[in-house]
Structure 1
Amino acid sequence: MSSIRFGCAVARLSCIGVLTACAAGCAAEGRTSATGPQAVHGDDLRLERVVMLMRHGVRPPTRAKVAPEALHDKSWPKWSVDFGELTAHGYDAVRLLGQWDRANWVARGLLPATGCPAEADVEVAASNKSRTQATARALVEGMAPGCALHVEFPATPDDDVEFHPLDAGAMPIDADEAMRAVAALAPAGGMQAEIATHAERFALLNKALGCEGSRKSAACDVSALPAGLVRNEGDRPDVGDPFGLASTISQTFLLEYLEGMPMRDVAWGRLTRGQIEELLEFHSLKFYYEGRAPYVAARAASPLAARMLEAMEQGPRLTVLVGHDTNIADLGGLLDLHWQVPSYPRDDPPPGGALGFEVLADASGKRFVRAFYRSQTMDQVRELQPLSAANAPAYQYLPIPGCDNGCPLPEFEALLRSRLVRPLKSAGR
């Protein structure tokens, strides 16, 4: 496990834009579920720990070829950094989010109002990918500028058994059983029926790609690609075409928008922000098939989920794990959690967003768990809007199915442990 240290220990930090009450900013976009801790115990709860899994910030496509050239009539716009790297705009957006996180956790007594948090009180870790490490650095800079905080990350891809457990060969998975589990999610009629359900979205996607009018033909129609789930030995199935490609293209349009590119360069000027949101349904659909089947989710999410549970039980006051949208989707699938950030489809993990857990204690010391989703909206990222109680990111509390009566920590532990799968190899932490 490698680590990098940011800042110096001598700078002082004053609270910026402290929220006077969590409800003013934290729950503006979502309310505690009827069976959540506050519904059972009121507001007399003390925040003890926060553990959250965060997606990296804005990046370009991860490869030069976003889609086969026959599908689009124009070249993709240029980016300021190499494929898959965090952009400067993405860094700044995450830093703003870190400032809001700081204010939120200070207002709720998790972090000190002045100075740096004790090194033992904050743990930040990232995957082996450089974009997640840069995202962690941006968050730390916003949340604790000038403070000496480590960011841990695996030294090699083979060591990345928590964020990429299937790629690292760290989890047992039967390809045939995984295929059956994912195929069971499809409607009657299989993936062809799924294509028919999304016919209007495919038409909108084709329009953005220039596949209309005199150019319209099966050669450029994304929905005409051969359909079917793809079995992968030693791994989960892929949703396959046309949905995998539609997800990649729609995510690329989103990233162009979030980066602040002129609208003439976002989807070549052929889509509005609302239409980009509509096409992002392909992205959440990909994660529905690839991460919501219980058999698959348990094998993809167990290593990170186990680490998060350990942090909830006996970790520092704040634990932040910076990974990928796939990690968040898998964790959501494991616990059947659902969220919706304004300007995004249901269960879509936006760049910089986080799925997390609050551990709260009542006056007797009994502890409870509350799940949340925290994320900026599209325009908050695109415009690099300063965040405050008056312009807060979405902070939505999520029901935890199977954990009632305020979700006591022991019940949450039992629920999660019942779904974990033992890894073939573990992280050397």
Structure 2
Amino acid sequence: MKKRMPLFSLSALALALPLSLQAAEAPAAPAEGYQLEQVLIFSRHGIRAPLVGYGDILAESTPHTWPVWKTEGGLLTPKGGEVEVLFGKYLRTWLAQTEILPANGCPTEGSVFVYANSLPRTIDTAKSFVSGAFPDCSLTVNHQEKIGTMDPTFNPIVTAEVTETFKQKAIDSINSHAGEGGIEGLNKRLEPNYNVLQQVMDYGQSKVCTEKKTCSMAAQPNEVIIEQNKEPGIKGPLRVGTGASDGFMLQYYEGYPLNEVAWGKITDAKQWQQLEEIKNLYHETLFGSSAIAQNAAAPLLRFISAALNGTPDESNKLAEQAHKAKVAVMVGHDSNIASLLAAMKTAPYELPQQYEKTPISGKIVFQRWHDKKADKDLMKIEYVYQSTDQIRNATPLTADAPPMRVTLEIDGCKTDANGFCPMDDFKTAIASDLKGGE
């Protein structure tokens, strides 16, 4: 099997080039001879308040005071709901253009299936999407009855028994994927990024530096944490940097005045790129290795395979509803998307006009098309997402101001010039990925 390069490779050029040179145009009416027959949309939740405030370590890493959000930690903000409504409206228009759903009115029973992880922010994101796409329609947002706990389908945990052999294999895989010097080598290569973060946070004046005498993030070790039935994690500067950069990005999305975002200390695109690269590489480091990704993403990939390919998923009774629907919408987390794309061995991709590699409200859109002339089914996978400024400005999405759209290619399912790969190849590739996660 050919080796994939890391998924998350940021490029200053990609952020600077005009959109027309990189991302495809907005989804339009289907080409003659092709009929869209099924769509599965996997979405990250919308803008949320920081998960757990900012925690002691982040509070101690800067002399500045982190802002207090009006929304409780981890919950979808009103702005997040607004942005998701706009996305729902736009995608309903696209679904109508492709003739898979009517342009107006409510969908017929069973033709649309909606399923969210059982946390408030994912459920509320799904409801906002439905409100935008299908206003005044009584569509059910399916989720576990017990809200506030992770649904196993959306829970990217290590389910394998974490023996010393498995743990060492996983760590070796992570180190190999991280490149020269493993995770510590990655930490050294991130020194310029950490330096930008330290400057933004005035790290030299923080308690961590003045009292604990830990004044260089790049000099601190990272530790990979792998435990059975828990999400893999990393302790150290990579995690601290991820928390800080995530907080800054959320402030920007939420619409904080620029002189308040990161205390007014992020002034250009290069700084944003360097800060967000820390977070992007955190997810890449954890889920980019096959040993972790295929195991952690197995429940989600199994459900998606059941929905698109009709393969059995005895662990989730909702899979049959998703398979029968013309349009299935799922709402989860960035860790779901990171592990899912890694498990499918997705080719490296870039998202123009975005700093995040798994952006807020971004959607992986699986599309099963039928080629009437050749009488065969095709698969197309796209990342449909909003630019950083579309999110910040809550820009209405239209044909003149569409979301971004990038075609993805997975291992074993080579795409043609139009982004299609044979459906049979897709089924075989996913079956192979699922076997690797057992």
Q: TM-score over 0.5 for the alignment?
A: yes
Q: Deviations over 1:211-256 (max 9, x none)?
A: 2589976535433433332343454642331111111110110000
Q: Distance in 1 between matches of 2:183 and 2:332?
A: 29
Q: Distance in 2 between matches of 1:116 and 1:79?
A: 36
Contact 2:385 2:405 in 1 (8 A): yes
What is the letter of the counterpart of residue 171 of structure 2?
M
CA separation of 1:323 and 1:165: change in aligned 2, threshold 3 A: same
Matches within 5 A, 1:225-236: 225-235=220-230
CA distance in structure 2 between the partners assigned to 1:414 and 1:214 by the alignment: 53
Give how far 1:31 is off: 4.4
Please name the residue that 1:97 is paired with.
Answer: 87
Q: 1:151 to 1:423 in 2, by over 3 A?
A: farther
The equivalent position to 1:306 in structure 2, one of 299, 302, 308, is: 302
Amino acid at match of 2:381: A
1:272 Cα deviation (Å)?
Answer: 2.7
Once the two structures are TM-superposed, the CA of residue 368 in structure 1 deviates from its matched residue by 0.6
1:138 matches 2:128: yes
* Match in the other structure for 1:18: none
- Structure 1 pair 201/330, CA: closer, same or farther in 2 (3 Å)? same
Matched, 1:164 2:167: no
Which structure 2 residues correspond to residues 109-128 of structure 1 after superposition, within 5 A? 109-128=99-118
SS in 2 for 1:48: strand
Asked if 1 retains the 8 angstrom alpha-carbon contact of 2:362 and 2:383, the reply is: yes
Bigger CA drift: 238-247 or 56-65? Answer: 238-247
* Pair 1:226–1:130, CA change in 2 (3 A): same
Native 8 Å contact 2:222 2:236 kept in 1: yes
Match of 1:48 in 2: 37
In structure 2, C-alpha distance between the alignment counterparts of 1:30 and 1:114, rounded to whole Å: 29
Pair 1:391-2:401 in alignment: yes
Indicate if the aligned counterparts of 1:28 and 1:394 stay in contact, CA closer than 8 A: no
Q: What residue in structure 2 maps to residue 30 of structure 1?
A: 23
Over the matched positions of the two proteins, sequence identity in percent amounts to: 28
How big is the shift at 1:90? 0.6
Of residues 84-93 and 71-80 in structure 1, the stretch that sits farther from structure 2 once superposed is 71-80
- On the 8 A contact 2:35/2:371 being kept in 1, the answer is yes
**Aligned partners of 2:63, 2:334: CA distance in 1, in Å?**
29
Contact conserved, 2:44 with 2:363, CA < 8 A, in 1?
A: yes
State the distance in 2 between where 1:27 and 1:212 align: 42
In 2, Cα distance between the equivalents of 1:323 and 1:298? 17
Stretches of structure 2 that go unaligned for 5 or more consecutive residues are 1-18, 310-322
SS at match of 2:297: helix
Match of 1:360 among 369, 382, 386: 369
- My pick for the range that moved more, 174-183 or 132-141, is 174-183
Count of aligned pairs between the two proteins:
388
Matched, 1:333 2:328: no
SS in structure 2 opposite 1:418? helix
Distance in 2, Cα, partners of 1:43 & 1:340: 29
Given candidates 279, 284, 289, the residue that maps to 1:283 is 279
Equivalent AA in structure 2 for residue 289 of structure 1: T
Q: Displacement of 1:383 after TM fit?
A: 0.7
Q: 1:241 to 1:372 in 2, by over 3 A?
A: same
Cα separation, partners in 2 of 1:365 and 1:315, compared to 1, 3 Å: farther
SS in 1 for 2:79: helix
Tell me the distance in 2 between the aligned counterparts of 1:369 and 1:283: 30
Distance of 1:235 and 1:179 partners within structure 2: 16
C-alpha distance in 1 between matches for 2:248 and 2:274: 11
CA distance in 2, matches of 1:376, 1:396: 11
Question: Could you give the per-residue CA deviations for residues 293-343 of structure 1, whole angstroms, max 9, x where no partner exists?
Answer: 112111111111121122223431111110000000011101122432223
| Deviation, structure 1 residue 415 | 0.9
Please state whether the residue corresponding to 1:261 is helix, strand or coil: coil
Matched, 1:272 2:286: no
User: CA 1:284/1:68 → structure 2, altered by over 3 Å: closer, same or farther?
Assistant: closer
Question: How many angstroms apart in 2 are the aligned matches of 1:367 and 1:135?
Answer: 31
Give the TM-score normalised by structure 1: 0.83
Aligned counterparts of 1:85 and 1:29: Cα–Cα separation in 2: 33
Q: How far has the Cα of 1:205 moved from its partner?
A: 0.2
The residue type paired with residue 349 of structure 1 is: T
- The answer to whether the Cα contact below 8 Å between 2:156 and 2:231 also exists between their aligned partners in 1 is no
Question: Relative to 1, partners in 2 of residues 1:198 and 1:341: Cα closer, same or farther, differing over 3 Å?
Answer: same
Question: Whole-Å Cα distance in 2 between the matches of residues 255 and 322 of structure 1?
Answer: 18
Q: 1:328 & 1:106 partners in 2: Cα distance?
A: 26
2:330 to 321, 335, 338: 321
C-alpha change, 1:233 and 1:308, in structure 2 (3 Å) is closer
In structure 2, C-alpha distance between the alignment counterparts of 1:331 and 1:190, rounded to whole Å:
22
Query: How has the CA–CA distance of structure 1 residues 98 and 158 changed in structure 2, closer, same or farther, with 3 Å as cutoff?
Result: closer
Residue 380 (structure 1) aligned with residue 390 (structure 2): yes
SS in 2 for 1:149: coil
| Structure 2 residue identity aligned to 1:334 | A
Please point out which of 136, 160, 176 is paired with 1:184: 176
Q: 2:3 aligns to what?
A: none
Give 1:165 shift. Answer: 4.9
Whole-Å Cα distance in 1 between the matches of residues 156 and 406 of structure 2?
28
- Give the TM-score of the pair, scaled to structure 2: 0.82
RMSD: 2.7
Shift of 1:172: 5.3
Cα distance in structure 2, aligned partners of 1:155 and 1:220: 46
